[in-house]
Chains A and B, each alone.
Chain A
Amino acid sequence: MMDKQTFLENIQQQLPEGVTGSQIIRDKRYMIDIRADALTEIARYFYQNLKFRFIIASAFHSKEGFEIMYHFSDDTSGNIINLHVILPEEKPQIESLANMFSGANWIEREMHEILGITFRNHPEPEKLLSDGNWAEGVYPYRKNFKS
Protein backbone atom coordinates (compact mmCIF):
# COMPACT_ATOMS: atom_id res chain seq x y z
CA MET A 1 0.00 0.00 0.00
CA MET A 2 1.44 3.30 -1.07
CA ASP A 3 1.98 6.01 1.48
CA LYS A 4 -0.45 8.94 1.20
CA GLN A 5 2.21 11.56 0.61
CA THR A 6 3.98 9.45 -2.02
CA PHE A 7 0.71 8.79 -3.82
CA LEU A 8 -0.06 12.48 -4.06
CA GLU A 9 3.50 13.41 -5.10
CA ASN A 10 3.52 10.68 -7.76
CA ILE A 11 0.35 12.01 -9.31
CA GLN A 12 1.45 15.61 -9.14
CA GLN A 13 4.76 14.88 -10.87
CA GLN A 14 2.97 13.32 -13.83
CA LEU A 15 0.39 16.04 -14.26
CA PRO A 16 0.61 18.69 -16.95
CA GLU A 17 1.25 22.27 -15.88
CA GLY A 18 -1.38 24.18 -13.91
CA VAL A 19 -1.29 22.73 -10.39
CA THR A 20 -1.23 25.43 -7.73
CA GLY A 21 -1.43 23.36 -4.56
CA SER A 22 -2.47 20.06 -3.05
CA GLN A 23 -3.70 18.65 0.19
CA ILE A 24 -4.32 15.28 1.83
CA ILE A 25 -7.79 15.74 3.28
CA ARG A 26 -7.64 12.41 5.10
CA ASP A 27 -7.02 8.77 4.36
CA LYS A 28 -7.88 8.04 0.69
CA ARG A 29 -9.12 11.60 0.08
CA TYR A 30 -7.01 14.14 -1.79
CA MET A 31 -7.51 17.61 -3.18
CA ILE A 32 -5.48 19.20 -5.96
CA ASP A 33 -5.91 22.92 -6.62
CA ILE A 34 -5.54 23.82 -10.27
CA ARG A 35 -5.84 26.84 -12.51
CA ALA A 36 -9.10 27.01 -14.45
CA ASP A 37 -7.32 27.07 -17.84
CA ALA A 38 -5.46 23.84 -17.02
CA LEU A 39 -8.61 21.83 -16.28
CA THR A 40 -9.03 20.15 -19.68
CA GLU A 41 -5.48 18.81 -19.86
CA ILE A 42 -5.39 17.59 -16.27
CA ALA A 43 -8.84 15.99 -16.53
CA ARG A 44 -7.74 14.33 -19.78
CA TYR A 45 -4.71 12.90 -18.00
CA PHE A 46 -6.91 11.58 -15.19
CA TYR A 47 -9.47 10.07 -17.54
CA GLN A 48 -7.27 8.68 -20.31
CA ASN A 49 -3.92 7.89 -18.72
CA LEU A 50 -4.75 7.13 -15.11
CA LYS A 51 -8.21 5.64 -15.95
CA PHE A 52 -9.89 7.53 -13.13
CA ARG A 53 -13.69 7.54 -13.14
CA PHE A 54 -15.47 10.90 -13.09
CA ILE A 55 -17.94 10.74 -10.19
CA ILE A 56 -19.54 14.18 -10.35
CA ALA A 57 -18.71 17.85 -9.85
CA SER A 58 -19.90 19.95 -6.90
CA ALA A 59 -20.07 23.71 -7.32
CA PHE A 60 -20.67 26.31 -4.65
CA HIS A 61 -20.63 30.04 -4.19
CA SER A 62 -18.14 31.26 -1.58
CA LYS A 63 -16.15 34.32 -0.55
CA GLU A 64 -13.52 33.45 -3.16
CA GLY A 65 -16.03 33.34 -6.01
CA PHE A 66 -17.40 30.19 -7.60
CA GLU A 67 -15.65 27.00 -6.59
CA ILE A 68 -15.98 23.71 -8.43
CA MET A 69 -14.77 20.37 -7.11
CA TYR A 70 -14.40 17.75 -9.83
CA HIS A 71 -14.52 14.43 -7.99
CA PHE A 72 -12.59 11.58 -9.60
CA SER A 73 -12.48 8.03 -8.29
CA ASP A 74 -9.53 5.68 -8.59
CA ASP A 75 -11.40 2.40 -8.34
CA THR A 76 -8.27 0.28 -8.09
CA SER A 77 -7.30 1.87 -4.77
CA GLY A 78 -10.53 3.42 -3.46
CA ASN A 79 -9.04 6.93 -3.53
CA ILE A 80 -11.08 10.02 -4.33
CA ILE A 81 -9.10 12.82 -5.96
CA ASN A 82 -10.82 16.21 -6.05
CA LEU A 83 -9.74 18.77 -8.61
CA HIS A 84 -10.46 22.17 -7.14
CA VAL A 85 -10.99 25.21 -9.35
CA ILE A 86 -11.89 28.75 -8.33
CA LEU A 87 -13.68 30.96 -10.84
CA PRO A 88 -14.07 34.74 -10.51
CA GLU A 89 -17.29 36.27 -9.19
CA GLU A 90 -17.70 38.28 -12.40
CA LYS A 91 -18.40 36.16 -15.49
CA PRO A 92 -17.54 32.69 -14.19
CA GLN A 93 -16.47 30.60 -17.19
CA ILE A 94 -14.66 27.33 -17.69
CA GLU A 95 -14.09 24.83 -20.48
CA SER A 96 -16.61 21.99 -20.72
CA LEU A 97 -15.46 18.42 -20.11
CA ALA A 98 -18.52 16.92 -21.80
CA ASN A 99 -16.69 16.59 -25.12
CA MET A 100 -14.17 14.31 -23.42
CA PHE A 101 -16.62 12.12 -21.49
CA SER A 102 -20.41 12.27 -21.65
CA GLY A 103 -20.66 11.77 -17.89
CA ALA A 104 -20.00 15.51 -17.48
CA ASN A 105 -22.82 16.57 -19.80
CA TRP A 106 -25.73 16.78 -17.36
CA ILE A 107 -23.89 18.09 -14.32
CA GLU A 108 -22.44 20.99 -16.30
CA ARG A 109 -25.88 21.93 -17.55
CA GLU A 110 -27.14 21.70 -13.97
CA MET A 111 -24.32 23.88 -12.62
CA HIS A 112 -25.15 26.44 -15.27
CA GLU A 113 -28.77 26.52 -14.18
CA ILE A 114 -28.29 26.67 -10.44
CA LEU A 115 -25.22 28.93 -10.25
CA GLY A 116 -24.88 30.60 -13.63
CA ILE A 117 -21.44 29.24 -14.48
CA THR A 118 -20.81 29.13 -18.22
CA PHE A 119 -19.25 26.01 -19.71
CA ARG A 120 -17.51 26.87 -22.96
CA ASN A 121 -17.99 24.54 -25.95
CA HIS A 122 -20.61 22.43 -24.24
CA PRO A 123 -22.03 20.03 -26.88
CA GLU A 124 -25.64 20.37 -25.71
CA PRO A 125 -26.10 23.69 -23.88
CA GLU A 126 -29.78 23.21 -23.09
CA LYS A 127 -31.64 23.36 -19.82
CA LEU A 128 -31.75 20.17 -17.78
CA LEU A 129 -33.91 20.73 -14.71
CA SER A 130 -35.62 24.02 -15.19
CA ASP A 131 -37.05 23.74 -18.68
CA GLY A 132 -40.01 26.03 -19.07
CA ASN A 133 -40.75 27.33 -15.63
CA TRP A 134 -37.75 29.06 -14.09
CA ALA A 135 -37.06 32.74 -14.51
CA GLU A 136 -34.11 33.60 -16.74
CA GLY A 137 -30.97 34.77 -14.96
CA VAL A 138 -32.11 33.64 -11.51
CA TYR A 139 -29.63 31.31 -9.88
CA PRO A 140 -31.01 29.72 -6.68
CA TYR A 141 -27.68 28.45 -5.31
CA ARG A 142 -25.99 31.84 -5.33
CA LYS A 143 -25.46 33.45 -1.95
CA ASN A 144 -27.52 36.52 -2.76
CA PHE A 145 -30.58 34.50 -3.84
CA LYS A 146 -33.68 35.25 -1.80
CA SER A 147 -36.46 32.67 -1.97
Chain B
Amino acid sequence: MANKRIIPVGPYHPLQEEPELFKLYCEGETVKDIKWETGYNHRGIEKLSESKTFEQVFFLVERICGICSTSHPFAYANCMEEIAQVEPPNRAKYIRSIVGELERLHSHFLWVGLAGHFLGYNTVWMWAWKYREPVLDLFEIISGNRNSYAMFKIGGVRRDISTDQIKLARKIMNELKKKNDLLTGAVMDDPVIHARTKGVGILTKQDVMDYAAVGPTARASGWEIDVRRDDPYAAYDMVDWKVITAPQGDVFAKAQVRLLENYESIKIIEQCLDGLEKEPEGDIEVQVKEIPEGMGTGRAEAPRGEVFHFVKTDGSNSPVRHKIRAPSYVNIATFKKSCVGQTISDATISLAAVDPCYCCTERMAFAYDWHTGKKIYDGNQLVELSKQKTQQIRNNA
Protein backbone atom coordinates (compact mmCIF):
# COMPACT_ATOMS: atom_id res chain seq x y z
CA MET B 1 0.00 0.00 0.00
CA ALA B 2 3.07 2.20 -0.21
CA ASN B 3 1.90 4.28 -3.18
CA LYS B 4 -1.55 4.93 -1.86
CA ARG B 5 -2.56 8.10 -0.09
CA ILE B 6 -4.30 7.67 3.24
CA ILE B 7 -7.38 9.78 3.91
CA PRO B 8 -8.30 9.50 7.59
CA VAL B 9 -11.91 9.86 8.66
CA GLY B 10 -11.73 10.21 12.42
CA PRO B 11 -10.99 9.49 15.23
CA TYR B 12 -12.75 12.81 15.81
CA HIS B 13 -14.46 13.96 12.67
CA PRO B 14 -17.46 16.21 12.09
CA LEU B 15 -19.16 13.45 10.11
CA GLN B 16 -18.96 10.84 12.84
CA GLU B 17 -20.49 11.57 16.20
CA GLU B 18 -18.46 8.81 17.78
CA PRO B 19 -14.71 8.29 18.01
CA GLU B 20 -13.63 5.74 15.42
CA LEU B 21 -11.02 5.90 12.71
CA PHE B 22 -11.46 4.87 9.10
CA LYS B 23 -8.33 4.92 7.02
CA LEU B 24 -9.17 5.13 3.35
CA TYR B 25 -6.24 4.05 1.18
CA CYS B 26 -6.79 5.96 -2.04
CA GLU B 27 -5.35 6.14 -5.51
CA GLY B 28 -6.58 9.43 -6.91
CA GLU B 29 -10.28 9.60 -6.13
CA THR B 30 -10.74 5.86 -5.80
CA VAL B 31 -10.72 4.01 -2.49
CA LYS B 32 -8.49 0.96 -2.88
CA ASP B 33 -8.58 -0.38 0.65
CA ILE B 34 -10.04 0.54 3.99
CA LYS B 35 -8.95 -0.11 7.55
CA TRP B 36 -10.87 0.48 10.70
CA GLU B 37 -9.52 1.28 14.12
CA THR B 38 -11.63 1.21 17.21
CA GLY B 39 -11.26 0.92 20.95
CA TYR B 40 -11.51 4.65 21.61
CA ASN B 41 -14.78 4.05 23.34
CA HIS B 42 -14.30 0.61 24.89
CA ARG B 43 -16.07 0.60 28.23
CA GLY B 44 -15.70 -3.03 29.27
CA ILE B 45 -19.46 -3.53 29.64
CA GLU B 46 -19.16 -7.34 29.50
CA LYS B 47 -16.68 -7.29 32.36
CA LEU B 48 -18.71 -4.76 34.36
CA SER B 49 -21.76 -6.95 33.98
CA GLU B 50 -20.06 -9.69 36.00
CA SER B 51 -20.02 -7.34 39.00
CA LYS B 52 -23.73 -6.44 38.85
CA THR B 53 -26.83 -8.30 39.99
CA PHE B 54 -29.15 -9.64 37.29
CA GLU B 55 -31.59 -6.73 37.78
CA GLN B 56 -28.82 -4.11 37.73
CA VAL B 57 -27.51 -5.47 34.42
CA PHE B 58 -30.64 -4.07 32.72
CA PHE B 59 -29.55 -0.53 33.48
CA LEU B 60 -26.02 -1.28 32.37
CA VAL B 61 -26.89 -2.82 29.00
CA GLU B 62 -29.40 -0.06 28.37
CA ARG B 63 -26.46 2.33 28.32
CA ILE B 64 -24.53 0.46 25.63
CA CYS B 65 -26.31 2.49 23.04
CA GLY B 66 -28.27 5.70 23.28
CA ILE B 67 -30.22 5.23 20.07
CA CYS B 68 -31.33 1.64 20.42
CA SER B 69 -31.39 1.65 24.20
CA THR B 70 -34.18 -0.90 24.42
CA SER B 71 -32.74 -3.60 22.15
CA HIS B 72 -30.10 -4.70 24.63
CA PRO B 73 -32.48 -4.98 27.62
CA PHE B 74 -34.88 -6.77 25.24
CA ALA B 75 -32.33 -9.43 24.26
CA TYR B 76 -31.06 -9.70 27.83
CA ALA B 77 -34.61 -10.20 29.15
CA ASN B 78 -35.21 -12.92 26.54
CA CYS B 79 -31.96 -14.55 27.60
CA MET B 80 -32.66 -14.47 31.35
CA GLU B 81 -36.22 -15.69 30.87
CA GLU B 82 -34.79 -18.61 28.93
CA ILE B 83 -32.57 -19.50 31.89
CA ALA B 84 -35.30 -18.95 34.50
CA GLN B 85 -37.90 -20.73 32.30
CA VAL B 86 -40.56 -18.07 32.70
CA GLU B 87 -42.91 -16.44 30.25
CA PRO B 88 -44.19 -12.90 30.72
CA PRO B 89 -47.96 -12.26 30.56
CA ASN B 90 -49.51 -11.22 27.25
CA ARG B 91 -49.94 -7.60 28.30
CA ALA B 92 -46.20 -7.37 29.01
CA LYS B 93 -45.46 -8.97 25.63
CA TYR B 94 -47.54 -6.35 23.83
CA ILE B 95 -45.89 -3.52 25.75
CA ARG B 96 -42.44 -4.92 24.93
CA SER B 97 -43.25 -5.08 21.23
CA ILE B 98 -44.69 -1.56 21.27
CA VAL B 99 -41.53 -0.17 22.90
CA GLY B 100 -39.33 -2.16 20.50
CA GLU B 101 -41.18 -0.91 17.43
CA LEU B 102 -41.33 2.71 18.60
CA GLU B 103 -37.60 2.49 18.93
CA ARG B 104 -37.25 1.14 15.41
CA LEU B 105 -39.37 4.03 14.14
CA HIS B 106 -37.34 6.74 15.79
CA SER B 107 -34.07 5.06 14.86
CA HIS B 108 -35.02 4.70 11.18
CA PHE B 109 -36.19 8.32 11.04
CA LEU B 110 -32.89 9.31 12.60
CA TRP B 111 -30.96 7.32 10.00
CA VAL B 112 -32.87 8.76 7.05
CA GLY B 113 -32.10 12.21 8.42
CA LEU B 114 -28.42 11.44 8.87
CA ALA B 115 -28.16 9.90 5.41
CA GLY B 116 -29.67 13.07 3.96
CA HIS B 117 -27.16 15.11 5.93
CA PHE B 118 -24.23 13.01 4.66
CA LEU B 119 -25.40 13.56 1.10
CA GLY B 120 -25.63 17.29 1.69
CA TYR B 121 -29.42 17.15 1.48
CA ASN B 122 -30.24 18.93 4.71
CA THR B 123 -33.96 19.34 4.05
CA VAL B 124 -34.44 15.59 4.47
CA TRP B 125 -32.38 15.78 7.65
CA MET B 126 -34.53 18.53 9.19
CA TRP B 127 -37.78 16.89 8.14
CA ALA B 128 -36.92 13.41 9.33
CA TRP B 129 -35.75 14.63 12.71
CA LYS B 130 -38.83 16.81 13.09
CA TYR B 131 -41.11 13.82 12.42
CA ARG B 132 -39.11 11.74 14.88
CA GLU B 133 -39.93 14.11 17.75
CA PRO B 134 -43.54 12.91 18.40
CA VAL B 135 -42.19 9.35 18.82
CA LEU B 136 -39.76 10.57 21.48
CA ASP B 137 -42.57 12.54 23.13
CA LEU B 138 -44.62 9.36 23.26
CA PHE B 139 -41.68 7.60 24.90
CA GLU B 140 -41.44 10.37 27.44
CA ILE B 141 -45.15 10.09 28.21
CA ILE B 142 -45.02 6.30 28.57
CA SER B 143 -41.72 5.90 30.38
CA GLY B 144 -40.69 9.35 31.60
CA ASN B 145 -37.64 9.41 29.36
CA ARG B 146 -36.88 10.28 25.76
CA ASN B 147 -34.11 7.72 25.88
CA SER B 148 -33.08 4.84 28.18
CA TYR B 149 -36.66 3.94 29.01
CA ALA B 150 -35.99 1.36 31.76
CA MET B 151 -39.14 -0.53 30.77
CA PHE B 152 -37.83 -4.07 30.98
CA LYS B 153 -37.32 -6.51 33.84
CA ILE B 154 -37.03 -10.26 34.10
CA GLY B 155 -40.55 -11.64 33.78
CA GLY B 156 -42.26 -8.56 32.41
CA VAL B 157 -42.15 -4.78 32.18
CA ARG B 158 -41.88 -2.06 34.80
CA ARG B 159 -44.70 0.22 33.68
CA ASP B 160 -48.14 -0.29 32.22
CA ILE B 161 -49.56 1.69 29.30
CA SER B 162 -52.82 3.35 30.36
CA THR B 163 -56.00 3.70 28.27
CA ASP B 164 -55.32 7.42 27.74
CA GLN B 165 -51.82 6.65 26.54
CA ILE B 166 -53.20 4.05 24.11
CA LYS B 167 -55.47 6.73 22.59
CA LEU B 168 -52.59 9.14 22.28
CA ALA B 169 -50.34 6.48 20.73
CA ARG B 170 -53.01 5.79 18.08
CA LYS B 171 -53.22 9.48 17.27
CA ILE B 172 -49.44 9.79 16.93
CA MET B 173 -49.25 6.64 14.75
CA ASN B 174 -51.92 8.00 12.40
CA GLU B 175 -50.02 11.22 11.95
CA LEU B 176 -46.73 9.40 11.57
CA LYS B 177 -48.10 7.34 8.68
CA LYS B 178 -48.74 10.53 6.71
CA LYS B 179 -45.29 11.88 7.56
CA ASN B 180 -43.69 8.62 6.46
CA ASP B 181 -45.62 8.84 3.16
CA LEU B 182 -44.18 12.28 2.67
CA LEU B 183 -40.65 11.23 3.51
CA THR B 184 -40.80 8.05 1.45
CA GLY B 185 -42.01 10.11 -1.50
CA ALA B 186 -39.23 12.65 -1.00
CA VAL B 187 -36.53 9.96 -0.91
CA MET B 188 -37.90 7.54 -3.53
CA ASP B 189 -38.70 10.13 -6.18
CA ASP B 190 -35.82 12.53 -5.77
CA PRO B 191 -33.44 12.47 -8.76
CA VAL B 192 -30.51 13.73 -6.66
CA ILE B 193 -30.90 10.95 -4.10
CA HIS B 194 -31.24 8.41 -6.91
CA ALA B 195 -28.03 9.68 -8.48
CA ARG B 196 -26.12 9.61 -5.20
CA THR B 197 -27.31 6.26 -3.84
CA LYS B 198 -28.27 3.90 -6.69
CA GLY B 199 -25.49 1.50 -7.53
CA VAL B 200 -23.38 2.91 -4.68
CA GLY B 201 -21.83 0.75 -1.95
CA ILE B 202 -23.24 -2.51 -3.29
CA LEU B 203 -23.15 -5.57 -1.04
CA THR B 204 -24.08 -8.84 -2.72
CA LYS B 205 -25.97 -11.56 -0.91
CA GLN B 206 -22.76 -13.57 -0.80
CA ASP B 207 -20.96 -10.62 0.85
CA VAL B 208 -23.51 -10.23 3.62
CA MET B 209 -23.52 -13.99 4.25
CA ASP B 210 -19.73 -14.01 4.38
CA TYR B 211 -19.65 -11.19 6.94
CA ALA B 212 -22.72 -12.63 8.72
CA ALA B 213 -24.33 -9.18 8.46
CA VAL B 214 -27.78 -8.70 9.95
CA GLY B 215 -30.78 -6.40 9.90
CA PRO B 216 -31.56 -3.94 7.10
CA THR B 217 -27.98 -4.36 5.81
CA ALA B 218 -28.68 -8.05 5.10
CA ARG B 219 -32.28 -7.57 4.02
CA ALA B 220 -31.36 -4.87 1.50
CA SER B 221 -29.09 -7.46 -0.18
CA GLY B 222 -31.92 -9.92 -0.55
CA TRP B 223 -31.15 -12.07 2.49
CA GLU B 224 -34.49 -12.54 4.19
CA ILE B 225 -33.60 -12.84 7.87
CA ASP B 226 -35.42 -11.25 10.77
CA VAL B 227 -35.33 -12.64 14.30
CA ARG B 228 -38.81 -11.30 14.96
CA ARG B 229 -40.16 -13.78 12.43
CA ASP B 230 -37.55 -16.56 12.51
CA ASP B 231 -37.35 -16.99 16.28
CA PRO B 232 -40.39 -15.07 17.54
CA TYR B 233 -40.36 -13.43 20.96
CA ALA B 234 -42.63 -10.94 22.76
CA ALA B 235 -45.81 -10.35 20.73
CA TYR B 236 -44.36 -10.69 17.23
CA ASP B 237 -46.05 -14.02 16.54
CA MET B 238 -49.39 -12.66 17.73
CA VAL B 239 -49.59 -9.89 15.12
CA ASP B 240 -49.60 -9.76 11.34
CA TRP B 241 -46.66 -8.13 9.55
CA LYS B 242 -44.10 -8.93 6.90
CA VAL B 243 -40.34 -8.85 6.46
CA ILE B 244 -39.19 -6.16 4.01
CA THR B 245 -36.38 -7.03 1.62
CA ALA B 246 -34.79 -5.55 -1.49
CA PRO B 247 -32.45 -7.35 -3.86
CA GLN B 248 -30.09 -4.58 -5.05
CA GLY B 249 -27.79 -4.23 -2.04
CA ASP B 250 -26.94 -0.58 -2.69
CA VAL B 251 -27.47 2.43 -0.41
CA PHE B 252 -30.81 3.16 -2.05
CA ALA B 253 -32.07 -0.32 -1.22
CA LYS B 254 -31.07 0.17 2.41
CA ALA B 255 -33.03 3.43 2.57
CA GLN B 256 -35.97 1.74 0.89
CA VAL B 257 -35.97 -1.18 3.35
CA ARG B 258 -35.86 1.16 6.35
CA LEU B 259 -38.62 3.45 5.10
CA LEU B 260 -40.92 0.54 4.28
CA GLU B 261 -40.12 -1.08 7.62
CA ASN B 262 -41.55 2.02 9.27
CA TYR B 263 -44.98 1.11 7.88
CA GLU B 264 -44.64 -2.43 9.25
CA SER B 265 -43.66 -1.03 12.66
CA ILE B 266 -46.71 1.21 12.71
CA LYS B 267 -48.85 -1.80 11.73
CA ILE B 268 -47.35 -3.88 14.57
CA ILE B 269 -47.85 -1.09 17.12
CA GLU B 270 -51.49 -0.61 16.13
CA GLN B 271 -52.21 -4.33 16.47
CA CYS B 272 -50.40 -4.45 19.82
CA LEU B 273 -52.52 -1.53 21.02
CA ASP B 274 -55.63 -3.54 20.03
CA GLY B 275 -54.20 -6.47 21.96
CA LEU B 276 -53.52 -4.32 25.03
CA GLU B 277 -57.18 -3.30 25.17
CA LYS B 278 -58.21 -6.94 25.44
CA GLU B 279 -55.80 -7.82 28.26
CA PRO B 280 -56.51 -6.98 31.92
CA GLU B 281 -54.80 -3.78 33.08
CA GLY B 282 -51.91 -4.13 35.50
CA ASP B 283 -51.03 -7.73 34.56
CA ILE B 284 -47.53 -6.83 33.43
CA GLU B 285 -45.12 -9.19 35.17
CA VAL B 286 -44.57 -12.60 36.70
CA GLN B 287 -42.44 -12.98 39.81
CA VAL B 288 -39.07 -14.58 39.30
CA LYS B 289 -37.55 -15.77 42.56
CA GLU B 290 -34.17 -17.06 41.56
CA ILE B 291 -32.03 -17.64 38.52
CA PRO B 292 -30.74 -21.23 38.40
CA GLU B 293 -27.34 -22.34 37.20
CA GLY B 294 -27.20 -22.63 33.43
CA MET B 295 -26.71 -20.73 30.24
CA GLY B 296 -29.00 -18.86 27.93
CA THR B 297 -28.99 -17.11 24.60
CA GLY B 298 -31.32 -14.25 23.92
CA ARG B 299 -31.81 -12.25 20.80
CA ALA B 300 -33.90 -9.34 19.64
CA GLU B 301 -34.19 -7.56 16.33
CA ALA B 302 -32.85 -4.06 16.94
CA PRO B 303 -33.30 -1.32 14.32
CA ARG B 304 -29.83 -2.23 12.99
CA GLY B 305 -30.27 -5.99 13.16
CA GLU B 306 -30.03 -8.89 15.54
CA VAL B 307 -28.74 -8.18 19.05
CA PHE B 308 -27.38 -11.30 20.69
CA HIS B 309 -26.75 -11.93 24.39
CA PHE B 310 -25.18 -15.01 25.93
CA VAL B 311 -25.26 -15.37 29.71
CA LYS B 312 -23.73 -18.09 31.85
CA THR B 313 -24.94 -18.32 35.43
CA ASP B 314 -23.80 -20.35 38.44
CA GLY B 315 -26.78 -20.01 40.78
CA SER B 316 -25.52 -16.79 42.37
CA ASN B 317 -27.10 -13.41 41.66
CA SER B 318 -24.75 -12.15 38.96
CA PRO B 319 -23.61 -13.45 35.57
CA VAL B 320 -20.41 -15.50 35.34
CA ARG B 321 -19.97 -14.51 31.70
CA HIS B 322 -22.07 -12.11 29.68
CA LYS B 323 -21.28 -11.90 25.98
CA ILE B 324 -22.96 -9.18 23.97
CA ARG B 325 -22.97 -8.93 20.19
CA ALA B 326 -24.42 -5.70 18.84
CA PRO B 327 -25.47 -5.67 15.17
CA SER B 328 -22.97 -2.99 14.15
CA TYR B 329 -20.16 -5.34 15.20
CA VAL B 330 -20.82 -7.51 12.18
CA ASN B 331 -22.29 -4.83 9.92
CA ILE B 332 -19.40 -2.38 10.11
CA ALA B 333 -16.96 -5.00 8.82
CA THR B 334 -18.81 -5.05 5.48
CA PHE B 335 -17.17 -1.68 4.69
CA LYS B 336 -14.34 -3.62 3.15
CA LYS B 337 -16.76 -4.71 0.44
CA SER B 338 -18.98 -1.66 0.12
CA CYS B 339 -16.34 1.11 0.09
CA VAL B 340 -13.49 -0.40 -1.89
CA GLY B 341 -13.70 0.66 -5.53
CA GLN B 342 -15.90 3.66 -4.73
CA THR B 343 -14.89 7.31 -4.92
CA ILE B 344 -14.10 9.11 -1.66
CA SER B 345 -17.33 11.10 -1.78
CA ASP B 346 -19.39 7.90 -2.10
CA ALA B 347 -17.45 6.21 0.68
CA THR B 348 -19.05 8.44 3.33
CA ILE B 349 -22.59 7.44 2.44
CA SER B 350 -21.50 3.80 2.08
CA LEU B 351 -20.08 4.02 5.60
CA ALA B 352 -23.30 5.54 6.84
CA ALA B 353 -25.52 3.07 4.98
CA VAL B 354 -25.17 0.31 7.56
CA ASP B 355 -26.24 2.81 10.23
CA PRO B 356 -23.17 2.37 12.45
CA CYS B 357 -24.28 2.72 16.02
CA TYR B 358 -23.09 5.87 17.75
CA CYS B 359 -23.28 4.43 21.16
CA CYS B 360 -22.26 7.30 23.37
CA THR B 361 -24.95 9.89 23.65
CA GLU B 362 -23.47 12.42 25.95
CA ARG B 363 -24.88 12.98 29.35
CA MET B 364 -24.50 16.19 31.29
CA ALA B 365 -24.14 16.59 35.05
CA PHE B 366 -23.44 20.27 35.59
CA ALA B 367 -23.85 23.48 33.65
CA TYR B 368 -21.32 26.25 34.28
CA ASP B 369 -21.22 29.91 33.49
CA TRP B 370 -17.77 30.10 31.92
CA HIS B 371 -17.31 33.77 32.83
CA THR B 372 -17.97 33.57 36.54
CA GLY B 373 -17.27 29.83 37.01
CA LYS B 374 -20.58 29.62 38.84
CA LYS B 375 -22.76 26.51 38.65
CA ILE B 376 -26.08 27.31 37.01
CA TYR B 377 -27.68 23.93 37.61
CA ASP B 378 -26.54 20.97 39.61
CA GLY B 379 -27.55 17.36 38.99
CA ASN B 380 -30.63 17.44 41.24
CA GLN B 381 -31.93 20.64 39.71
CA LEU B 382 -31.55 19.13 36.23
CA VAL B 383 -33.52 16.04 37.30
CA GLU B 384 -36.21 18.34 38.70
CA LEU B 385 -36.28 20.32 35.44
CA SER B 386 -36.57 17.13 33.41
CA LYS B 387 -39.51 15.95 35.57
CA GLN B 388 -41.26 19.28 35.06
CA LYS B 389 -40.79 18.99 31.30
CA THR B 390 -42.22 15.46 31.22
CA GLN B 391 -45.23 16.66 33.21
CA GLN B 392 -45.68 19.55 30.79
CA ILE B 393 -45.66 17.18 27.77
CA ARG B 394 -48.11 14.87 29.50
CA ASN B 395 -50.47 17.77 30.29
CA ASN B 396 -50.35 19.07 26.73
CA ALA B 397 -50.84 15.63 25.10
Contacts and interface: CB of A to CB of B under 8 A. Distances in A.
Contacts of A4: none
A interface bracket (residues with beta carbon within 8 Å of B): 35 or more
Chain B at the A interface: SS class: mixed
A78 B312 contact: no
B97 interface: no
Given A60-B321, A82-B297, A54 B212 contact: yes
Contacts of B321: 58, 60
Interface residues of B, number: 35
B325 A56 contact: yes
Interface in A20-75: 25-26, 28-29, 53-56, 58, 60, 69, 71, 73, 75
B325 A55 contact: yes
Given A60-B321, A131-B39, A103 B308 contact: no
6 contacts: A75-B230, A80-B299, A101-B210, A101-B211, A102-B211, A103-B212
A115 B369 CA distance: 46
A12 interface: no
Contacts, number: 85
Contacts of B295: 25
Given A75-B225, A101-B212, A103-B212, A128 B39 contact: yes
B85 A26 contact: yes
A55 B306 contact: yes
- Sort A-B residue pairs by CB-CB distance and give the 8 closest, nearest first: A103-B212, A78-B231, A58-B323, A56-B325, A60-B321, A129-B39, A58-B310, A54-B212
B323 A56 contact: yes
B308 A53 contact: no
B212 A60 contact: no
Nearest to A47: B209
Given A58-B323, A103-B333, A129-B38, 10 more contacts: A28-B231, A60-B321, A71-B308, A101-B210, A101-B212, A102-B210, A103-B210, A106-B330, A107-B325, A131-B37
